[in-house]
Amino acid sequence: MTDFPTDPGRRHWLRVGAGIAALSALPGAFAADTSPRTTVARVRSGRIGGSVEHGVHVFRGVPYGADTATRRWQPALQEAAWRGVRDAVDYGPSAPQRGSDGPGSEDCLRLNVWTPALRDGAKRPVLVYIHGGAFNTGSGSDPLYDGGALCRSGDVVVVTVNHRLNAFGYLHLRDLGDASFAHAGNVGQLDLVQALEWVRAHAAEFGGDAGNVTVFGQSGGGAKIATLMAMPATRGLFHRAWTMSGQQVTAAGPRAATQRAQIFLDALGIAPGDLERLRTLPMQALLDAQRARDPSRVEDSALYFGPVVDTMHLPRHPFWPDAPPQSSGIPMVIGNTRDETRAFLGNDPDNFTLSWDALPAKLRTQQFVDLDPAVVVTEYRRLYPEYTPSEVFFAATTAGRSWRGAVEELEVRAAQGRNTWAYQLDWYPRTNEGARLRAFHTLDIPLVFDNTGVAGAKTGNADDARAVAANMRDALLAFARSGDPNHAGMPAWAPYSMASRETMVFDTAPRLEHDPRGGERRLYQQAPFVQRGTQ
- In this structure, are 202 and 341 located in the same domain? no
- Name the strand (E) or helix (H) holding 29: none
149 domain residue, yes or no: yes
Which amino acid is located at 400 in the chain?
G
292 domain residue, yes or no: no
302 domain residue, yes or no: no
311 domain residue, yes or no: no
Please measure the distance between the N-terminal and C-terminal CA atoms of the chain and give it in whole angstroms.
23
Distance of CA 349 to the CA centre of its chain: 28
Catalytic residue, chosen from 53, 340, 409, 502, is 340
Of the residues 211, 227, 244, the one at which a domain ends: 244
pTM: 0.92
Catalytic residue, chosen from 24, 139, 141, 219, is 219
- In this structure, are 46 and 180 located in the same domain? yes
- In this structure, are 344 and 200 located in the same domain? no
Distance of CA 516 to the CA centre of its chain: 24
Give pLDDT tens digits along the chain (535 positions): 333 233 333 333 322 333 333 333 333 333 333 445 589 999 999 999 999 999 999 999 999 999 999 999 999 999 999 999 999 999 999 999 998 888 999 999 999 999 999 999 999 999 999 999 999 999 999 999 999 999 999 999 999 999 999 999 999 999 999 999 999 999 999 999 999 999 999 999 999 999 999 999 999 999 999 999 999 999 999 999 999 999 999 999 999 999 999 999 999 999 978 999 999 999 999 999 999 999 876 556 889 999 999 999 999 999 999 999 999 999 999 999 999 999 999 999 999 999 999 999 999 988 888 899 999 999 999 999 999 999 999 999 999 888 999 999 999 999 999 999 999 999 999 999 999 999 999 999 999 999 999 999 999 999 999 999 999 999 999 999 999 999 999 999 999 999 999 999 999 999 999 999 999 999 999 998 878 778 7
Strand partners, 512: 504
- In this structure, are 17 and 125 located in the same domain? yes
- In this structure, are 12 and 154 located in the same domain? yes
Of the residues 201, 223, 244, the one at which a domain ends: 244
Q: 298-328 burial, b if ≥16 CB within 10 A, otherwise e?
A: eeeeebbbbbbbbeebbebbbbbeebbeebb
- Active-site annotation holds for 441: yes
195 domain residue, yes or no: yes
- In this structure, are 234 and 335 located in the same domain? no
Domains held by the chain: number: 2
325 domain residue, yes or no: no
- In this structure, are 80 and 202 located in the same domain? yes
Residue 440 Cα distances to 341, 467, 517, 533, angstroms: 6, 18, 16, 22
The CATH number of the domain holding residue 104 is 3.40.50.1820
Residue range(s) defining the domain that contains residue 205 = 8-244
Q: Give which of 370, 378, 369 is closest to 402, Cα–Cα.
A: 369
- In this structure, are 193 and 335 located in the same domain? no
- Active-site annotation holds for 183: no
- In this structure, are 340 and 238 located in the same domain? no
- In this structure, are 206 and 346 located in the same domain? no
360 domain residue, yes or no: no
Catalytic residue, chosen from 441, 487, 502, 520, is 441
- In this structure, are 57 and 181 located in the same domain? yes
Of the residues 223, 244, 265, the one at which a domain ends: 244
339 domain residue, yes or no: yes
- In this structure, are 339 and 226 located in the same domain? no
